[in-house]
Amino acid sequence: MTWLRSLLFLLWFLAVTTILSLVFLPVLLLPRGATQWLARVWSRLTFFGLKLFAGIDWEIRGARPTMPVLVAAKHMSMWDTLALWLALDAPAIVLKRELLRIPFYGWFLWKGAAIAIDRKSGASALRKMSDEARAALAQGRPVLIFPEGTRKQPGDAPDYKPGVAGLYGQLGVPCIPVALNSGAYWTGFRKRPGTIVLEFLPAIPPGLKRAEFMATLERRIETATAALLP
């Protein structure tokens, strides 16, 4: 039954993504707000199909940020990006530059949300990321980063990259850690019914030293994530 429900959702997701990408391709010529609106429509339709076919709902816990801040979230599945896009109302998302090369998907990412980085560029990548993040904050948008740099399955050892500390130090704004348990329900093709929880944790104030910040961030996210997993 889980396999069938997962297949039905996949067909829904592919249909919605294909239709929206083709029909709304001219949106790329319009101001960024039009692409951000389309991304919200796509995310909501995806979640509608996820609940209808796969039996997966979601809830938000904690206080969503109401000011431009740095948001550092656990990353377990594609679901995380869609949910945080809706919860944070079109954040600027730090992501791998390679994703922008994906036809259609990458184009909309570039126009609507991306702070794309080349992880091989070292210090220059941090400078570029910081400059674009400051510009997003000046527009009143939060900046979203996944500090481990890739998806992790429940139970995997944490691996927090130094880029989040560099960005935190450069921006001088609070950092909001985010815990979630999407990996227990969205695992590649397979979707297990249940309720995914996205939890905003207490803010880490600006000004901490790098080691203290990294230890605090990892401890808060990993402790809260472990508590959310079934």
Flag whether 116 is in a domain.
yes
pLDDT by residue (tens digit) across 138-164? 989 999 999 998 899 998 999 999 889
Flag whether 102 is in a domain.
yes
Can you tell me the distance from the alpha carbon of 23 to that of 225, in angstroms, rounded to the nearest whole number?
A: 38
Flag whether 1 is in a domain.
no
Are 105 and 78 in contact by the 8 Å Cβ rule? The answer is: no
pLDDT confidence of 202, banded at 50, 70, 90?
Answer: very high
Flag whether 7 is in a domain.
no
pLDDT for residue 19: 93
Percent of the chain with pLDDT over 90: 65
Range of the domain at 181: 56-228
Flag whether 21 is in a domain.
no
Provide the token pair at 228: 């959310």
Report strand pairing: 143-145 vs 92-96: parallel
pLDDT by residue (tens digit) across 76-87? 999 999 999 999
Flag whether 118 is in a domain.
yes
Provide the token pair at 79: 């679901």
pLDDT by residue (tens digit) across 101-112? 666 666 666 666
pLDDT confidence of 32, banded at 50, 70, 90?
Answer: confident
Looking at the structure of the chain, the number of domains it has is 1
Flag whether 24 is in a domain.
no
Q: Which of 196, 199, 151 is nearest to 177 (CA)?
A: 199
Instruction: Give me the count of residues in the chain.
Output: 230
Q: What CATH number has the domain bearing residue 145?
A: 3.40.1130.10
pLDDT for residue 118: 67
Q: Exposed, middle or buried: residue 10 (CB in 10 Å: 0-12, 13-18, 19+)?
A: middle
The answer to whether residue 2 scores a pLDDT higher than 70 is: yes
Flag whether 18 is in a domain.
no
pLDDT for residue 167: 92
> pTM of the entire structure?
0.90
pLDDT for residue 57: 98
pLDDT for residue 59: 97
pLDDT for residue 1: 83
pLDDT for residue 107: 63
Residue 60: CB atoms within 10 Å: 15
Mean pLDDT within 162-179: 94
